[in-house]
């Protein structure tokens, strides 16, 4: 029996990789190796609450050790950095020199923050939030800013401005801006501080925040951000970042205490040296079955792949797309193991909608291409989606934890 | 009218100073100057919740700017460091060279963490929690420890011990130990992490935790701490603190990742150079009316005074004693302004009891020298006491905030 088991290697334990894992781990004729350089699945979509001190670190990081422990030795977790892939020899090369062979490979390596080098000083003076380590650093720096405000309560009239700048007004940027502004404003006001909270600037080069999304979403979110005191600057690029200021394309300079950059992503650096069909930003080119062009048994899902919809339009990278593509790729591999022809294609990609958290118990929703609403109901739907994603994983972790301990 | 107003200077905006302020600020024939080096009243008694990430920084720091703003120009807040007092010339000397004259002076400077120099390395390698700055640093370091655990989830079998050591098992030490242990254990367990939380050691030289308090309190608290996983070591002194370990008087050495020291306090350093009757630790000696021995118009309250009960026994320094002595001293000053003889003495000191928070929604209570209970009821009483103290202050701050803004 052992010998005929198919080995599936999943490279990356993020939204995409874990969905693929979920599709395959119930089979008895496979062994799965999940590789990630971190021992956790980082829930980047929930990070705004973590930054605003509303949740703890384990609320944004699910243990891959216990999650794979749940699957009773059928799934092995390898914490390692991947050096390269050899699609011809069907092997994954780890940076410790080890090689792992596979029958099927799912590349789900996600993306990293991209700091365009045209923007001088951007990399040196800003934070990203695409890794737990960075989000944690940022959270602590934000808290230090709050502490500084408290220490300077006596002299706030002299220096009333404490500016946090968020570069990039995509979903992440918007949600973080809202959470920080709401948190800092509300808790200073609520506690009767003279100095007020910090200023949050949201700077975006495109003509609007969340550019390209539904106009209702954009308009409503913008209104709510403004009500929270977020200063929105659109149609304006960041040209230079200095240690304590940011220079904009309209000639203005804003004082900056610290800055987070959510303005761009690039594919995982692992893909830089991988020999495979890629676009200019190293995203893997896939066919409609999520297979890397030219390779029958190599799939790429989520942020690290260039995924096109049925109209040949490149889909923007989101956690939702990672989940959908991970699921469909997993189903296709399952079919292939059964000697069937894979049938799940990019045509099936159907977004449930967009939910934007805008501080406190408020959110803006656009669901199933027809329902548009905001307020506490949207917030509850958002929470439901988060909990619905996270809780089943954590339930598995808790069981996996006991299995680990029993070993 | 202006000229006959009595000027009262309150040195220190802590539990004692603010109670004295509250007793005097309703009078129309006084002007009060509150001096503190910080612009906030630090609620040290609530700090365990802050360290365990359950509250925010403004929950443990009440703005003195807006609080004094509430009293409409009758109370002035001066943020300054006090250099010295001249009880003969009736002046307070600030470290910027300014002098403030007074008719009555209340010294309520509190205490600082005392690091006995006999314990080698103690000052270099440990944190105190008697200032907001230190508590904040400690909170962030604790959070960094949590983050480190998450990052090391994959290899926890190799290094399962992450040890936080608390030196000194008085009320502060016990409450912090409980909060940290409960927080770290519960959130790792709840989230299905393999590695478990951190180890919290509570080390005390005296034969028991909370030495000298009611036996029920001690026994029940000890039981609950143990249930939370706190490792209690009593009757054992810390002899030396190294960068990563602690050497105990029983010859054992414990690995230490970081350490907080709550094992001793000393009077404010300002009192070192004050010429006045003091004990060996620079606490001011007061008569039964809380007046510094030999001075009719100088009062000392709270941690910076040596306060004795009716049996001539020195009372241990607590927030409760600071509040009671501040209140009684304030009443005595009020009487003296009315040309009456002060009548409130140390004989009136009557403790309402002791409430020990032991993590989550659990606490241990010993009230009015007869009621002993624990669990959620004790927790609720504790919360009620905290809220009952804090909320009226914050309500004043919120009003003061508007008055400040209106000016």
Q: Is B130 left (phi over 0), alpha (psi -120 to 50) or beta?
A: alpha
The residue in chain B having the minimum alpha-carbon distance to the alpha carbon of residue A137 is B144
Which of residues 142 through 201 in chain A touch B, CB cutoff 8 A? 143-144, 146-147, 150-156, 187-194
Going across the sheet that includes A363-367, the strands are A353-357, A363-367, A371-375
DSSP three-state, residue A272 = helix
Token pair in block for residue B94? 């600030």
Say whether A153 and B39 touch across the interface (CB within 8 A). Answer: yes
Segment A85-100 shows an average pLDDT of: 96
Number of Cβ pairs closer than 8 Å across A and B?
152
DSSP three-state, residue A356 = strand
Q: Place domain B2-37+80-112+266-351 in its CATH homologous superfamily.
A: FAD/NAD(P)-binding domain (3.50.50.60)
**pLDDT digit string (tens) for A111-134?**
999 999 999 999 999 988 899 999
d(CA B257, CA B176): 16
Pick from A53, A157, A194 the residue to mutate for testing the B interface (most B CBs within 10 Å): A194
Neighbours of A280 (CB within 10 A): 6
Q: Which residues of B touch A399 (CB under 8 A)?
A: 192
Cβ(A290)–Cβ(A328) below 8 Å: yes
d(CA A327, CA A348): 11
How many Å lie between the alpha carbon of B152 and the closest alpha carbon of chain A? 7
Enumerate the β-bridge partners of residue A79: A36
How many Å lie between the alpha carbon of B111 and the closest alpha carbon of chain A? 19
Q: Which residues of A touch B152 (CB under 8 A)?
A: 39
Best CA proximity match to A35, nearest among A87, A116, A91: A91
Q: Where are the beta strands (DSSP E) in B48-206?
A: 61-63, 75-79, 82-86, 91-94, 99-101, 104-107, 111-113, 126-127, 163-167, 199-203
Q: Where are the beta strands (DSSP E) in B209-274?
A: 231-233, 238-241, 245-248, 253-255, 258-261, 265-267
Say whether A396 and B65 touch across the interface (CB within 8 A). Answer: no
Segment A375-392 shows an average pLDDT of: 95
Say whether A191 and B63 touch across the interface (CB within 8 A). Answer: yes
d(CA A381, CA A378): 5
Residue A9's H or E segment, with its range, is strand A6-11
Say whether B63 and A133 touch across the interface (CB within 8 A). Answer: no
Best CA proximity match to B107, nearest among B280, B281, B306, B265: B306
Q: What's the angle, vertex CA A39, arms to CA B150 and CA B52, rounded to 5?
A: 15
Among partner residues B151, B191, B396, which is closest to A397 by beta-carbon distance? B191
d(CA A279, CA A274): 12
Pick from B150, B190, B394 the residue to mutate for testing the A interface (most A CBs within 10 Å): B150
Top-level class of domain A2-37+80-114+266-351: alpha beta
Range of lowest pLDDT (A278-282, B80-84, B287-291): A278-282
Range of lowest pLDDT (A178-187, A298-307, B353-362): A178-187
Say whether B58 and A190 touch across the interface (CB within 8 A). Answer: yes
Among partner residues A144, A152, A192, which is closest to B394 by beta-carbon distance? A192
Cβ-based burial of B367 (10 A; exposed 0-12, middle 13-18, buried ≥19):
middle
Q: In the predicted model, what is the mean pLDDT of chain B?
A: 92
The residue in chain A having the minimum alpha-carbon distance to the alpha carbon of residue B153 is A39
Range of lowest pLDDT (A20-24, A319-323, A402-406): A402-406
The residue in chain B having the minimum alpha-carbon distance to the alpha carbon of residue A192 is B398
The reply to whether domains A2-37+80-114+266-351 and A122-261 share a CATH topology is yes
How much is the pLDDT for A257? Answer: 87
d(CA A69, CA A10): 16
Contacts of A262 (CB under 8 A, 6+ apart): A113, A128, A129, A166, A167, A168, A170, A172, A173, A176
A55 touches chain B (CB under 8 A): no
Neighbours of B250 (CB within 10 A): 10
Which of residues 367 through 396 in chain A touch B, CB cutoff 8 A? 394-396
Phi, psi (rounded to 5 degrees) for B84:
-170, 170
C-alpha distance across the termini of chain A, in Å: 23
The CATH architecture annotation of domain B122-263 reads 3-Layer(bba) Sandwich (3.50)
How much is the pLDDT for B159? Answer: 57
Long-range contacts of B363-371 (CB under 8 A, 24+ apart): B364/B217, B364/B220, B364/B221, B364/B224, B366/B213, B366/B214, B366/B216, B366/B217
The residue in chain A having the minimum alpha-carbon distance to the alpha carbon of residue B397 is A192
**pLDDT digit string (tens) for A146-199?**
898 889 888 865 456 788 999 999 999 999 999 999 888 777 888 888 877 788
What percent of chain B is modeled with pLDDT above 90? 77
Phi, psi (rounded to 5 degrees) for B155:
-130, 25
Domain boundaries, chain B: 2-37+80-112+266-351, 122-263
How much is the pLDDT for A407? Answer: 56
What percent of chain A is modeled with pLDDT above 90? 77
Distances, alpha carbon B2 to alpha carbons B16, B28, B30, in Å: 28, 10, 9
Q: How confident is the model at residue B2 (pLDDT cuts 50, 70, 90)?
A: very low
Cβ(A305)–Cβ(A278) below 8 Å: no
d(CA A365, CA A124): 36
Neighbours of B73 (CB within 10 A): 10
Q: Which residues of A touch B140 (CB under 8 A)?
A: 140, 143-144
DSSP calls for A74-99: TEEEEE--EEEEETTTTEEEETTS-E
DSSP A149: H
DSSP A340: P
Segment B156-172 shows an average pLDDT of: 81
Report, in angstroms and rounded to the nearest whole number, the Rg of chain A calculated over CA atoms. 22
Q: Is the pLDDT of residue A279 over 70?
A: yes
The residue in chain A having the minimum alpha-carbon distance to the alpha carbon of residue B399 is A192
d(CA B339, CA B103): 13
Say whether A57 and B133 touch across the interface (CB within 8 A). Answer: no
Among partner residues A193, A397, A401, which is closest to B58 by beta-carbon distance? A193
How much is the pLDDT for A1? Answer: 43
How much is the pLDDT for B157? Answer: 53
How many Å lie between the alpha carbon of B329 and the closest alpha carbon of chain A? 27
d(CA A261, CA B115): 43
**pLDDT digit string (tens) for B91-113?**
999 999 999 999 999 999 999 99
**pLDDT digit string (tens) for B35-57?**
999 999 999 999 999 988 888 89
**pLDDT digit string (tens) for B384-406?**
999 999 999 999 999 998 886 66
How many Å lie between the alpha carbon of A380 and the closest alpha carbon of chain B? 22
The residue in chain B having the minimum alpha-carbon distance to the alpha carbon of residue A78 is B154
Say whether B193 and A405 touch across the interface (CB within 8 A). Answer: no
Residue B393's H or E segment, with its range, is helix B376-406
The residue in chain A having the minimum alpha-carbon distance to the alpha carbon of residue B57 is A147
d(CA B57, CA A190): 12
How many Å lie between the alpha carbon of A191 and the closest alpha carbon of chain B? 6
Among partner residues A63, A194, A394, which is closest to B65 by beta-carbon distance? A194
Best CA proximity match to A154, nearest among A207, A195, A199, A203: A195
**pLDDT digit string (tens) for A217-227?**
999 999 999 99
d(CA B103, CA B91): 9
DSSP calls for B183-196: HHHHHHHHTT-SS-
ipTM for the predicted complex comes to: 0.90
Say whether A401 and B153 touch across the interface (CB within 8 A). Answer: no
d(CA A158, CA A269): 45
Segment B294-304 shows an average pLDDT of: 96
How much is the pLDDT for B216? Answer: 96
Token pair in block for residue A72? 């009773």
Considering only residues A67 and A187, tell me which one the structure prediction assigns the higher pLDDT. A67
Which of residues 282 through 301 in chain A touch B, CB cutoff 8 A? none
Say whether B62 and A191 touch across the interface (CB within 8 A). Answer: yes
- Find tokens 């949050």 and name the residue: A200
Taking the domain A122-261, which CATH number applies? 3.50.50.60
- Interstrand relation of A298-300 and A104-107 (parallel, antiparallel or unpaired): parallel
B229 touches chain A (CB under 8 A): no
The residue in chain A having the minimum alpha-carbon distance to the alpha carbon of residue B395 is A192
C-alpha distance across the termini of chain B, in Å: 23
Q: Which residues of A touch B133 (CB under 8 A)?
A: 147, 151
A140 touches chain B (CB under 8 A): yes
Q: How confident is the model at residue A2 (pLDDT cuts 50, 70, 90)?
A: very low
How much is the pLDDT for B341? Answer: 94
Among partner residues B53, B144, B192, which is closest to A63 by beta-carbon distance? B192
Phi, psi (rounded to 5 degrees) for B56:
-100, 170
Q: Is B387 left (phi over 0), alpha (psi -120 to 50) or beta?
A: alpha
d(CA B261, CA B129): 8
Among partner residues B39, B136, B394, which is closest to A191 by beta-carbon distance? B394
Distances, alpha carbon B367 to alpha carbons B15, B372, B373, B386, B387, in Å: 20, 7, 9, 15, 18
Say whether A194 and B404 touch across the interface (CB within 8 A). Answer: yes
**pLDDT digit string (tens) for B119-131?**
999 999 998 889 9
């Amino acid at each position: 029996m052992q010998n005929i088991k198919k080995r599936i290697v999943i490279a990356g334990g993020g939204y995409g990789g874990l969905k693929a894992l979920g599709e395959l781990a119930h089979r008895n004729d496979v062994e799965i190796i999940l590789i990630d350089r971190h021992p956790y699945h980082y829930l980047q979509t929930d990070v705004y609450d973590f930054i605003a001190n509303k949740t703890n670190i384990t609320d944004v990081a699910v243990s891959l050790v216990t999650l794979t422990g749940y699957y009773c030795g059928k799934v092995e977790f390898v914490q390692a950095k991947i050096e390269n892939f050899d699609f011809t020899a069907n092997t994954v090369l780890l940076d410790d020199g080890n090689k792992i062979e596979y029958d099927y490979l799912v590349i789900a390596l996600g993306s990293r923050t991209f700091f365009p080098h045209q923007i001088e000083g951007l990399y040196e003076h800003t934070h990203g939030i695409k890794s737990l380590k960075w989000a944690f650093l940022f959270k602590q720096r934000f808290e230090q800013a709050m502490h500084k405000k408290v220490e300077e309560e006596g002299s706030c009239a002299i220096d009333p401005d404490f500016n946090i700048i968020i570069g990039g007004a995509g979903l992440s940027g918007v949600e973080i801006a809202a959470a920080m502004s709401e948190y800092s404003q509300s808790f200073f006001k609520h506690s009767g501080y003279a100095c007020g909270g910090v200023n949050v600037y949201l700077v975006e080069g495109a003509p609007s925040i969340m550019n390209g999304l539904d106009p209702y979403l954009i308009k409503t979110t913008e209104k709510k951000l403004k009500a929270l005191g977020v200063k929105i600057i659109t149609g304006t690029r960041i040209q230079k970042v200095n240690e304590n200021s940011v220079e904009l394309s309209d000639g203005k300079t804003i004082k900056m205490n610290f800055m987070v950059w959510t303005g761009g992503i690039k594919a995982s650096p692992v893909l830089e040296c991988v020999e495979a069909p890629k676009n200019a930003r190293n995203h893997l080119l896939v066919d409609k079955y999520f297979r890397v062009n030219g390779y029958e048994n190599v799939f790429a899902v989520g942020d690290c792949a260039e995924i096109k919809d049925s109209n040949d339009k490149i889909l923007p990278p989101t956690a939702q797309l990672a989940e959908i593509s991970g699921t469909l790729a997993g189903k296709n591999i399952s079919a292939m193991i059964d000697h069937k022809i894979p049938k799940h294609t990019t045509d099936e990609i159907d977004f449930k909608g967009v939910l934007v958290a805008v501080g406190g118990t408020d959110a803006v929703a656009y669901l199933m291409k027809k329902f548009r609403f905001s307020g506490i109901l949207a917030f509850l739907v958002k929470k439901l989606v988060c909990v619905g994603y996270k809780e089943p994983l954590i339930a598995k972790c808790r069981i996996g934890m006991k299995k680990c301990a029993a070993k």
